[in-house]
Chain A
Amino acid sequence: SAVISQKPSRDICQRGTSLTIQCQVDSQVTMMFWYRQQPGQSLTLIATANQGSEATYESGFVIDKFPISRPNLTFSTLTVSNMSPEDSSIYLCSGTSSGDEQFFGPGTRLTVL
């Protein structure tokens, strides 16, 4: 299984600012995803990070708010732009090589004041 790390592990930000979260996988994965998990809730898929092309966003999420990059098969970033308190959440990246088993990063806990 792939080992996935994220930076930062947590951050406290002021409203109106932006934060970029990094996701690093220790081996090449075919697919990478970004999820949001609000306190006590399930995981909600934000987007699929496509290598070398624009990410594919789920309903309710847009590129202007959550720009995503994936320059290669082991790295991706998610930016949370123009933050508001409603963006306070845990953001997780995941990866899969087989197309089935998905493994998650440890998450980034974001608090927006």
Chain B
Amino acid sequence: GENVEQHPSTLSVQEGDSAVIKCTYSDSASNYFPWYKQELGKRPQLIIDIRSNVGEKKDQRIAVTLNKTAKHFSLHITETQPEDSAVYFCAAPYNTDKLIFGTGTRLQVFP
């Protein structure tokens, strides 16, 4: 089955700096990789996703890169702001529609 590893578990940055979170997956058949942001007491929110036919996708200050050969994908946040502080989860699919989630990264952006 699918296994997803996520690093780091915590990440502290100064406002304006960049943040990078990395995930690796095990199932080479996986073809869809979403990232979720979860603020304290709130539901996970899909912030960006990437499909296996592209290597990079950007949406304003966030971007995701995918390396299928190495089986890893990364979330990049540039010009971080205090409101980016949250827990971020990567995920990868197995058995077509199910998602396996990474262990999460707690990002703190200090003003």
**Chain A positions near chain B (C-beta within 8 angstroms):** 1, 30-31, 33, 41-45, 48, 92, 96, 99-107
Contacts and interface: CB of A to CB of B under 8 A. Distances in A.
B46 to A, nearest CB: 6
Contact of B34 (A1, A42, A99, A101): A101
Contacts of A1: 46
Main secondary structure of the interface of B (DSSP, over half): strand
Contacts of B97: 30-31, 48, 96, 99
Nearest to B103: A42
A45 B100 CA distance: 8
B89 A45 contact: no
Interface residues of B, number: 20
Given A42-B102, A42-B103, 12 more contacts: A42-B104, A43-B89, A43-B101, A44-B101, A45-B98, A45-B99, A92-B43, A99-B96, A100-B32, A101-B34, A101-B46, A104-B44
Interface of B: 32, 34, 42-46, 49, 51, 89, 93, 96-104
Contacts of B51: 100
A33 B43 contact: no
Nearest to B32: A100
Given A42-B89, A43-B89, A102 B42 contact: no
Given A42-B103, A42-B104, A100-B49, A48 B43 contact: no
B104 to A, nearest CB: 5
Contacts of B46: 1, 101-103
Give the 3 A-B CB pairs with smallest separation, nearest first. A104-B43, A43-B101, A42-B101
Residue with the highest number of chain A CB atoms closer than 10 Å, among B32, B42, B43, B93: B43
Nearest to A101: B46
A104 B100 CA distance: 14
23 contacts: A31-B97, A33-B98, A42-B89, A42-B102, A42-B104, A43-B101, A44-B101, A45-B98, A45-B100, A48-B97, A48-B98, A92-B43, A99-B97, A100-B32, A100-B34, A100-B49, A100-B51, A100-B93, A101-B34, A101-B46, A102-B34, A104-B43, A106-B43
